[in-house]
A and B are shown apart, each in its own frame.
Chain A
Amino acid sequence: MTTSGQYNKTNSKPLPGHGHIVCHLSSSATRPSFTTFRASYPIKLLTPKVHSPYLAAAYVITYGGGMVSGDSIFLSVEIHPNVNLMLLTQGSTKIYKQRPGNIFVNNNILLNGEEELKISEGTRQKLNSFIHKNALLLQLPEPTTCFRDADFTQRQLFTLQDVTSSVIILDWFTCGRMSRGERWDFFKYDSGIDLILDDKLIFRDVVLLMNDNQNKLKKRLEPYECYATLVLYGPKVIPLINFIIEEFDKIVIGKVDKMPELVWSASILDEKQNIINGVVVKVAGITTELVRDFLVKFALKNLKDVIGENLFERAL
């Protein structure tokens, strides 16, 4: 009885909008396995076949390829020692417009009472991840695209067990549905990353873009259509970190009259006694493709050595 009760508890369907992933590697094995891999509407999890040793991958998908106002999703991820786990999305995450006066409430969420109703005023996405010793998390989604009047809030928490844990975090967004002439027409984009090591917050980056006055936001973000923040931390990605810092230090800026098509900066993260552990890269481009090229062909090109050519191409 006890066993079956426990079984139900751990494997029962997660709460609406919740997803759980636990990835494990038994000693002597080289192929990681998912000990937990489940999610409820509107999240769907898929795992592609992966042939590189120690590596696993998961696609985090939302039904219909997007989220509307009222959708609230929560994903928890735990990566056991020696596993490299890659989280991907299929196509950009589309955030549809808010529905004023007619808040979309998923039937299941309604059951959870008033507090959930309050949350449902916008689209919310939360990720909690725990990265054990010698493990690596690669959070490499496609960019978020907020459509006209969308109201989006995202928080991502990455906890590193110790200095042997590593992480790559990509958080990027575009100006909207360009095919319909939407440029920076969303209501709110609010996205934050917390990186924790040994119970200490070592890095926080929160970007808030509010359209109190439409022209102002547009004017402020133009001429760029895509912005990205890339964080790399830990021993498994040190070659990539060093490469980025060396390349950035080579830049020499002379006086110009026009902003470049792509602009980026790199800041060293958590430098102690001249030991570099991480880097934060911020980049803006006049097209999403320019930013993607910067990531694939430049900043992350040595990722091939970590995850293998095949999956690298699928990633971005």
Chain B
Amino acid sequence: MNNSIPLKNINKEDWLLWQFADSALPTGGFVASSGLEVAVQSGYVKDNDSLLLFLSSSIENYAYSALPFVTDSWQIISPTSNNGDDDEALIFENIIKLDCLYESCTSNVITKRASKAQGVAMLTLFSKSFSEEFSNDNEGKRNIGDRIIDKFKFEIRKENAFGHLPVTFGLVSKCLGISLERAQHLFLFFFSRAALSAAVRLNVVGPYYAQRILTECHSYVETSLEKTCNIKANDAVQTSPILDILQGRHDRLYSRLFNS
């Protein structure tokens, strides 16, 4: 019996990853174009080459600016965290600090809005779909995660916290037992997929070609991760000033399909 436990956990992680990768996962990502809509309407993305350039720069920018918050957030609940109240208060304080830091580091209101909407959706998803299953499992870790996520949601409702996606994503993946490496990959996969699904709906590429490009994005994600997987939130940076400007203009579009 003892031997079967690690095996069971590995399978569970894989299964969860498939669930997370499924586009039916209700995290509200379908309203976000990752900045593609405004880039298309502004004439920045107009053909395949410019689409690839957009994807490689925006994936790298996201890896430098948002991924460090996933990494830090994932690491806040450590394996030694127990159920002590002191520990829990400290963990919660660190999560709120990280959430506030992301807010200060993101000047762009559209990026902020998309991040908050999807971040809160991630917490709701956890509470509604995953928390009960794990609440009595594996003493300690998951219980503390459940409680912290509930408290986080409460503070967001009271407008004392923001619930930014990179922070909630790191937290939820940790609570579900997803490894840091996989959480980091998944986070950038989500971003790439959102951009490509938007590309199809914006009629920039067809659905088959979109899958071909999504395969291409794997190398962008790998190259970006090599450089950014160890960056702390305090050292997060922006690497694409033009995309930042364009994204900031999203609400000025005369007609638009997406929220960001």
Contact = CB atoms under 8 A, between A and B. Distances in A.
Contacts of B42: 253, 256, 259-260, 263
Given A202-B104, A206-B238, A284 B245 contact: yes
A256 B246 CA distance: 13
B254 A257 contact: no
B43 A201 contact: no
A267 B107 contact: yes
A218 B83 CA distance: 52
A265 B248 contact: yes
Contacts of A202: 104
Nearest to A221: B242
Interface in B92-108: 101, 104-105, 107-108
Chain B's interface size range is: 20 to 34
A46 interface: no
Nearest to A213: B223
B245 A264 contact: yes
B240 A269 contact: no
B41 interface: yes
Contacts of A266: 248
A172 to B, nearest CB: 11
B212 interface: no
A254 to B, nearest CB: 5
B244 interface: yes
A180 interface: no
Given A203-B104, A256-B43, A259-B44, A268 B245 contact: no
B82 interface: no
A252 B101 contact: no
Interface string B225-245: 000000000001111111011
A250 to B, nearest CB: 9
14 contacts: A205-B107, A206-B237, A208-B237, A208-B239, A210-B239, A224-B242, A248-B252, A253-B42, A256-B41, A259-B44, A263-B42, A263-B246, A269-B107, A282-B244
A209 B239 contact: yes
Nearest to B40: A255
Contacts of B57: 220
Contacts of B252: 248, 251-253
A204 B69 CA distance: 14
Nearest to A282: B245
Given A252-B254, A253-B249, A253-B252, A204 B241 contact: no
Contact of B238 (A201, A207, A216, A258): A207
A267 B246 contact: no
A219 interface: yes
Nearest to B242: A284
A237 interface: no
A253 B242 contact: no
B74 interface: no
Interface in B105-122: 105, 107-109
Nearest to B49: A219
A190 interface: yes
Contacts of A268: 109
B239 A221 contact: no
A204 B234 CA distance: 10
A74 interface: no
A251 B38 CA distance: 13
Contacts of A280: 107
A248 B57 CA distance: 26
Interface string B148-173: 00000000000000000000000000
